Structure 1
Amino acid sequence: MIQTVLGKIRPEDLGVCSVHEHLSIDLSRIKKDPDTVLDDEPGMLEELADFHGEGGRAMVEVTNDGMGRDVLRLKRLSEKSGVHIIACTGFYKDPFIPEYAQNWTAAQFAEHFIKEATEGIDGTGIFPGVIGEVGTSKNEIKPIERELLIGAALAGKETGLPVTTHTTLGTLGYEQVQLLTAQGLATDQIIIGHQDLNPNFDEVLAVLETGVYIDFDTIGKNNYRPDAERVEFLLEFIQRDFEKQILLSADLTRKSHWKKHGGPGYGLVLRDFIPQLKAKGVRQETIDLFLISNPARAFTIKERS
Structure 2
Amino acid sequence: MSAVRTVLGDVRSEELGVCDAHDHLFLSSPRLSGQELNDASAARAELEAFRAAGGSSVVQWTPYGMGRRAADLPPLSRAAGVHLVCATGLRQAAHYAPELFDELRGRLADVLVSELTGGVGASGVRAGIVKVAGGFHALDAHARWTMTAAAEAHRATDAPIAVHLEAGTGALDVLDLLCGELGVAPHRVILGHLNRSPELVVHRQAAASGCRLALDGPSRAHHATDWRMPDAVRAPAEAGFGHRLPLGGDTVVAGARSVDGGPGMPYLPRRVRARLALELGEVLVERILVDNPGRAFAADWR
- TM-score, normalising length from structure 1? 0.93
Q: How does 1:59-138 map to 2 (within 5 A)?
A: 59-97=58-96, 99-103=98-102, 108-132=107-131, 134-138=132-136
User: 1:137 corresponds to which letter in structure 2?
Assistant: G
- Look up the SS of the partner of 1:112 in the other structure: helix
1:30 to partner: Cα distance: 3.0
User: 2:176 corresponds to which letter in structure 1?
Assistant: Q
Q: What residue is the counterpart of 1:196 in the other structure?
A: 195
- Look up the SS of the partner of 2:246 in the other structure: strand
1:17 maps onto 2:16 in alignment: no
* C-alpha contact 1:2 1:301 (8 A) present in aligned 2: yes
When residues 85 and 201 of structure 1 are mapped into structure 2, their CA distance, relative to the original with a 3 A threshold, is same
* C-alpha contact 2:109 2:152 (8 A) present in aligned 1: yes
When residues 24 and 80 of structure 1 are mapped into structure 2, their CA distance, relative to the original with a 3 A threshold, is same
- Look up the SS of the partner of 2:163 in the other structure: strand
* C-alpha contact 2:32 2:253 (8 A) present in aligned 1: no
Q: What residue is the counterpart of 2:296 in the other structure?
A: 298
1:109 to partner: Cα distance: 2.1
1:129 to partner: Cα distance: 0.7
Q: What residue is the counterpart of 2:273 in the other structure?
A: 274
Q: 1:173 aligns with which of 146, 171, 174?
A: 171
For residues 294 and 118 of structure 2, what CA distance do their matches in structure 1 show? Answer: 24
* C-alpha contact 2:219 2:250 (8 A) present in aligned 1: no
User: 1:251 corresponds to which letter in structure 2?
Assistant: D
For residues 41 and 119 of structure 1, what CA distance do their matches in structure 2 show? Answer: 24
When residues 242 and 8 of structure 1 are mapped into structure 2, their CA distance, relative to the original with a 3 A threshold, is same
* C-alpha contact 1:106 1:147 (8 A) present in aligned 2: no
When residues 144 and 260 of structure 1 are mapped into structure 2, their CA distance, relative to the original with a 3 A threshold, is same
Q: Give me the CA root mean square deviation.
A: 1.7
1:242 maps onto 2:241 in alignment: yes
1:303 to partner: Cα distance: 5.7
For residues 52 and 7 of structure 2, what CA distance do their matches in structure 1 show? Answer: 21
1:183 to partner: Cα distance: 1.4
Q: What residue is the counterpart of 1:163 in the other structure?
A: 161
Residues 132-153 of structure 1 deviation map (CA, whole Å, 9 limit, x = unaligned) = 1x10121221101111011111
Give 5+ residue unaligned stretches, structure 2.
Answer: none
1:122 to partner: Cα distance: 0.7
Give 5+ residue unaligned stretches, structure 1.
Answer: none
Residues 265-288 of structure 1 deviation map (CA, whole Å, 9 limit, x = unaligned) = 2011111112211221x2222112
Which range moved further: 244-253 or 198-207? 198-207
For residues 274 and 222 of structure 2, what CA distance do their matches in structure 1 show? Answer: 20
For residues 103 and 179 of structure 1, what CA distance do their matches in structure 2 show? Answer: 24
Residues 183-233 of structure 1 deviation map (CA, whole Å, 9 limit, x = unaligned) = 121111100110110121222221111110011111243321252222122
For residues 118 and 163 of structure 2, what CA distance do their matches in structure 1 show? Answer: 23
When residues 225 and 146 of structure 1 are mapped into structure 2, their CA distance, relative to the original with a 3 A threshold, is same
Q: What residue is the counterpart of 2:182 in the other structure?
A: 183
Amino-acid identity (%):
26
- Look up the SS of the partner of 2:182 in the other structure: coil
For residues 292 and 120 of structure 2, what CA distance do their matches in structure 1 show? Answer: 27
* C-alpha contact 1:106 1:148 (8 A) present in aligned 2: no
Q: What residue is the counterpart of 1:258 in the other structure?
A: 257
For residues 288 and 14 of structure 2, what CA distance do their matches in structure 1 show? Answer: 14
1:248 to partner: Cα distance: 0.4
Q: Where in structure 1 do 4 or more consecutive aligned residues deviate above 3 Å?
A: 97-101, 103-107
User: 1:219 corresponds to which letter in structure 2?
Assistant: P
- Look up the SS of the partner of 1:26 in the other structure: coil
When residues 201 and 167 of structure 1 are mapped into structure 2, their CA distance, relative to the original with a 3 A threshold, is same
1:98 to partner: Cα distance: 5.1
* C-alpha contact 1:57 1:84 (8 A) present in aligned 2: yes
- TM-score, normalising length from structure 2? 0.94
For residues 105 and 201 of structure 2, what CA distance do their matches in structure 1 show? Answer: 30
Which range moved further: 107-116 or 266-275? 107-116
- Look up the SS of the partner of 1:120 in the other structure: coil
